Amino acid sequence: MKQSVERVLKSLASGSWFQGSHLFGKKTANGPELEAGELVNLSTVIGSPSELDQMQGIKFKDVFNTWKRIALNGNNPNAAPEEIDTWSFDDATDTVHCTVNSASTVGFISPNAYDHYTFEVDISSVNGDDDGIGLCLAYVGEGTSAYSLCLYRQAGSNVQPSASPVAPFALVYQPGVTGLPGYDPTTRKVGGVVGSLVFPDGTPIPAEGISTNGLNLGWDALGVVRIKVVREGNVITCQTSKGRGDLTYDPANKFVIDLNSSDDLRKFIPPCRVGFIAYSQPNASFKSLLQPGVNDQIIDARTNSVWTYDGANWSNAPFTAENAPVKEGRMYKNAITGSLYYVAGGFNFIRLN
Ligand SMILES: [Ca+2]
Ligand SMILES: [Ca+2]
């Protein structure tokens, strides 16, 4: 027996087992074999409509009630204390709206930190102002001092925590320092594009950026704008749609930054908190399509199927024994919903918690 176990262990592929591994039976054409694996695996498994809902999108009820509030200027996340709570929440539509024409960058910062994510959000405001709505892509610091990388989508004004002219789609480093390679100390900008973007009235934005405020209509005319951010370790890719009914991504309106390109940006290389922001834009609101911390494939234990997202819609397809995303005889925990499943023979999901 001892010899056969040793033979099995030696036959396992190098790197396939480690301290704490379990051995599991495996049925093959040549008869039974053993393979190593973890007793409990992290998974996107869901078992109810509300859990599916939870996995498919950020709940703004949670954002409103539990995420950190900021009224950011420079390195001070509480620079305008009177603007910290300037958000309303609508339970029926699960949306938040900015209630003021803020002087600081107001918003919400996530409790969790990420270094690999896809963040895709529809931003909008029914208000006629033309200022900034966006995302915080990385937030480092606690209490009274923070470093941040905030992505601003500007409808048509030169108002943003930077100097005029501003790019209509720009990543801004705060508090900012001089001497950062690729960093403009006047505008605090570390990346951004003008590309083929237009003012809310359809006028092309000049190549040098926006140097006016209030001349070309506002967010109520621009409508819904889609933003997609993909962070793969050090590299962050940002894309935006044009607005005015166009939700597609023109490659002209994309930029990439590498956090490993300077000492100042390297502070954001560890997993960082993210968030939703607005700058001087009343009624700013968000709809999250894909969010950090969630895989784009969700396993449905009710129907032995998987949900996948194509960039616009979720679709559902059954899995078979051949392409199953789980293995029989293993346990799967969903860290977001807290559920725990044991997958018995025949891919029978048994809920333990
Ligand atoms: Ca304005
Ligand atoms: Ca404003």
- Å from CA of 130 to ligand 2 middle: 7
Per residue in 298-326, pLDDT (tens digit) is 999 999 999 998 766 789 999 999 999 99
Report CA(149)–ligand 1 centroid distance (Å). 22
| pLDDT surpasses 70 at 90 | yes
Judged by its nearest atom, the ligand closest to the C-alpha of residue 102 is 2
Ligand 2 center to 218 CA (angstroms): 10
- From the CA of 159, how far away is ligand 1's center (Å)? 6
Q: How far is the CA of 157 from the centre of ligand 2 (A)?
A: 9
Looking at residue 37, what is its pLDDT?
87
Which has more pLDDT, 185 or 72?
Answer: 72
Ligand 1 mean position, distance from CA 170 (Å): 16
Ligand at minimal distance from the CA of 218 is 1
**Residue 183: its pLDDT value, please?**
47
Q: How far is ligand 2, taken at its centre, from the CA of residue 278, in Å?
A: 10
Give rounded-to-5 percent helix, strand, coil for the chain: 10, 45, 45
Kindly give the distance from the C-alpha atom of residue 128 to the centroid of ligand 2, in angstroms, as a whole number.
9
CA of 148 to the centre of ligand 2 (A): 21
Q: From the CA of 146, how far away is ligand 1's center (Å)?
A: 26
Section 229-242 average pLDDT: 96
* Mean pLDDT confidence for 183-192: 65
Q: How far apart are alpha carbons 82 and 85 in whole angstroms? A: 7
Nearest listed ligand to the Cα of residue 154: 1
Cα(283) to ligand 1 centroid in Å equals: 13
344 Cβ neighbours under 8 A, 6+ residues apart: 328, 329, 350
Spacing, Cα 281 to ligand 2 middle (Å) = 5
The rounded distance, in Å, linking the Cα atoms of 233 and 218 is 35
Mean pLDDT value of segment 265-273: 92
Query: Which tens digits make up the pLDDT trace of 98-143?
Result: 999 999 999 999 988 888 899 999 999 999 999 999 999 999 987 7
1 Cα to the center of ligand 2, angstroms: 76
Structure tokens at 330: 């293993």
- Contacts (Cβ under 8 Å, ≥6 apart) of 50: none
CA of 58 to the centre of ligand 1 (A): 29
Which residues lie near ion ligand 2 (Cβ < 5 Å)? 101, 129, 131, 280
- Burial (CB count within 10 angstroms: exposed 0-12, middle 13-18, buried 19+), residue 178: exposed
pLDDT at residue 9 above 80? no
Residue 232 near residue 173, CB atoms below 8 Å: no
| Per-residue pLDDT, 178 | 47
Question: Which DSSP string corresponds to 176-219?
Answer: --TT-TT-BTTTTEEEEE-TT-B-TTSPBPPTT-B--SSSS--H
Distance 122 CA to ligand 2 centre (A): 20
Ligand lying closest to the C-alpha of residue 158 = 1
User: 102: CA distance to ligand 2 center in Å?
Assistant: 7
Q: State mean pLDDT over 74-95.
A: 93
Report CA(166)–ligand 2 centroid distance (Å).
15
Distance 328 CA to ligand 2 centre (A): 56
- Dig out the tokens for 34 from the structure: 């053993």
- Stretch 68-84: mean pLDDT: 93
Q: Which residue has the higher pLDDT, 269 or 164?
A: 269
Does the pLDDT of residue 293 top 80, yes or no? no
Q: Which-ligand-closest: CA of 284?
A: 2
- Which ligand has the nearest atom to the CA of 157? 1
**What proportion of the chain, given as a percentage, has pLDDT over 70?**
91
CA of 141 to the centre of ligand 1 (A): 30
Domains in the chain (CATH in brackets) are 1-37 (no CATH), 39-50+296-353 (no CATH), 58-290 (2.60.120.560)
> Residue 14's pLDDT is what?
67
DSSP H helix total and E strand total for the chain: 5, 23
